[in-house]
Structure 1
Amino acid sequence: MTETEWLVCTRTTPMLRFLLGLGPKELRVIDIKTFPACRGSDRKLRLFACECHRRVRALLPDELAEATVETASRYADGRSTLEELQAAETLVRQALDALEGRWRASHGAERISLQPTHDALALSFQIVRPQAPKAAYYASSNAYLAAAGIANPGAGSGDASYHASSAAEERAQADLLRDIFGNPFRAVAFDPGWRAQTAVGLARHMYESRVFGLMPILGDALAEAGCEDADVLAHCRGHAPHVRGCWVIDLLLGKE
């Protein structure tokens, strides 16, 4: 992948394979043991997986899935333990296994009624995979396929409406990847002087609240602190989505 391709890509699979350090003809991601050339931290990859769920959560109402994703989010930030992540994985796997037989045998109205719960559990199971690269990779596809399936009940994967819904969700995820990982081809030379009290306070507030409407004001605060980096200021003042893990906020808060 080139820099130009990264900046305009609307498909998450090639972007994630690039971030994971994989070529186009590697083994299936599920079969890979380690990711020594990975360009993204486990924290950022796990947060991306969680955001894939948050984008479609209204379509997948399930309390266990919600709790599972919240555990994964806390784990990414070091606020829950590996044992808690593994316990969440066990619970959601048991619930998914209990539903699987009925799901596979279902058709028509019954399948449509089961789909939100099944897809919610399947997606949250991906998010708590022990390896963050696999969690990110499979959460992405699970989420955009779930969104397409629920938005187009009874449609097949080859139907135009299904494809349009899937592609739209994947495009939104691609924007999330750029928000979280920035431009991997152009590292920002971060100046500690940008960590003025106002800028850090705004960044911390947005990170903790998950409400990012103050990003343009953060851009102004950074400019007042002496930041002249065009990429940083454009990211703050632009119209791209922002989520927990945003590369500018992470720089200010010292997060990897």
Structure 2
Amino acid sequence: MTEAEWLASDNPQAMFQVLGTPSPRRMRLFACACCWRIAPQLTEAGRRAIEAAERFADAGAAQDELRPVLVSFRSMELRSQGANLDTHLAVSDALDVRDGNRSAMWASSWAASASADTPAEWKAQAALVRCIFRRVQPPPLDAAYRTDTVLALAAQMYESRDFGAMPILADALQDAGCDSADVLDHCRDPEGTHARGCWVVDSVLGKE
């Protein structure tokens, strides 16, 4: 897959095939991002399960914390027999997979199957792949660019999951001396989709 094909692709599964050995953390965060896309179909317990999986990905939660949350979520949905039971169980299973690659694939497939517009969902997921992964690993961000303002903006977006300040982050990085077109364009892309694991935000925060 060429860079042009990568940028134009609407097939997240095909894009995964050219990533080599991606970070398990990023793959799990991609799975969480897919699950967040169908969060309106989930109960509050489901949203707590996604949050626990994110903490697990960032090593903020141990496996013995993640499992009870998922078991509780699964049990609650089995008892309720809700209209979206299959979706709830699929999300629980995707988040419970110990292998990040398989978790990402499962979450991607289930989110697409739960969508009323599957092609649009694949397109949105492809944008998430471009947000979280790079086809070619970028060089480390210069430490001089990590000003207090840059760090504060990146940390706030990461914690809140609200990435509306990405253009402001681009301005702050540029003010700090960053002239990378890849970094600045990613932040300013008006059609950009962002989630935890965004490669620019991760670079600022020193996450891998």
TM-score computed with the length of structure 2 as normaliser: 0.90
Deviations 1:195-223 (A, max 9, x none): 11111111111111111111111111111
What is the CA–CA distance in structure 1 between the aligned matches of 2:32 and 2:120, rounded to whole Å? Answer: 18
What is the CA–CA distance in structure 2 between the aligned matches of 1:11 and 1:132, rounded to whole Å? Answer: 19
2:121 corresponds to which residue? 169
Do 2:74 and 2:92's aligned partners in 1 also have CA atoms closer than 8 Å? no
What is the CA–CA distance in structure 1 between the aligned matches of 2:140 and 2:158, rounded to whole Å? Answer: 22
What is the CA–CA distance in structure 1 between the aligned matches of 2:184 and 2:67, rounded to whole Å? Answer: 39
Aligned identity (percent) is 42
What is the CA–CA distance in structure 1 between the aligned matches of 2:89 and 2:18, rounded to whole Å? Answer: 27
Deviations 1:69-122 (A, max 9, x none): 1210111111110112233444455567x57xx8xxxxxxxxxx72x2321221
Unaligned runs of 5+ in 2: none
Letter in 1 for 2:176: A
Larger relative contact order, structure 1 or 2 (CA cutoff 8 Å, min sep 6): 2
Do 1:92 and 1:125's aligned partners in 2 also have CA atoms closer than 8 Å? no
Do 1:89 and 1:129's aligned partners in 2 also have CA atoms closer than 8 Å? no
SS in 1 for 2:195: coil
Displacement of 1:146 in angstroms is 0.9
SS in 1 for 2:162: coil
SS in 2 for 1:18: coil
1:10 corresponds to which residue? 10
Query: Equivalent of 2:174, from 220, 223, 231?
Result: 223
Q: Specify the structure having the higher radius of gyration (Cα).
A: 1
What is the CA–CA distance in structure 2 between the aligned matches of 1:141 and 1:95, rounded to whole Å? Answer: 23
Query: Equivalent of 2:132, from 155, 176, 180?
Result: 180
The aligned runs of 1:64-75 (5 Å cut-off) are: 64-75=45-56
Q: Does 1:49 align with 2:31?
A: yes
What is the CA–CA distance in structure 1 between the aligned matches of 2:172 and 2:195, rounded to whole Å? Answer: 19
1:106 corresponds to which residue? none
Q: Does 1:85 align with 2:66?
A: yes
What is the CA–CA distance in structure 2 between the aligned matches of 1:231 and 1:90, rounded to whole Å? Answer: 41
Which of 133-142 and 83-92 deviates more?
Answer: 83-92
Do 1:53 and 1:124's aligned partners in 2 also have CA atoms closer than 8 Å? no
What is the CA–CA distance in structure 2 between the aligned matches of 1:128 and 1:2, rounded to whole Å? Answer: 33
Do 1:71 and 1:80's aligned partners in 2 also have CA atoms closer than 8 Å? yes
RMSD (CA atoms):
1.9
Q: Does 1:211 align with 2:192?
A: no
What is the CA–CA distance in structure 1 between the aligned matches of 2:118 and 2:127, rounded to whole Å? Answer: 15
SS in 2 for 1:228: coil
Which of 167-176 and 85-94 deviates more?
Answer: 85-94
The aligned runs of 1:17-56 (5 Å cut-off) are: 17-19=17-19, 21=20, 38=21, 40-56=22-38
Unaligned runs of 5+ in 1: 22-37, 103-112, 149-164
What is the CA–CA distance in structure 2 between the aligned matches of 1:237 and 1:249, rounded to whole Å? Answer: 13
What is the CA–CA distance in structure 2 between the aligned matches of 1:200 and 1:93, rounded to whole Å? Answer: 37
Which of 168-177 and 67-76 deviates more?
Answer: 67-76
Letter in 2 for 1:254: G
**Matched residue count:** 206
Displacement of 1:238 in angstroms is 1.3
Do 2:34 and 2:125's aligned partners in 1 also have CA atoms closer than 8 Å? yes
Do 2:12 and 2:126's aligned partners in 1 also have CA atoms closer than 8 Å? yes
Deviations 1:20-79 (A, max 9, x none): x4xxxxxxxxxxxxxxxx1x2111111111110111211x13233222212101111111
Letter in 2 for 1:18: V
What is the CA–CA distance in structure 2 between the aligned matches of 1:173 and 1:228, rounded to whole Å? Answer: 28
1:138 corresponds to which residue? 106
Do 2:132 and 2:198's aligned partners in 1 also have CA atoms closer than 8 Å? yes
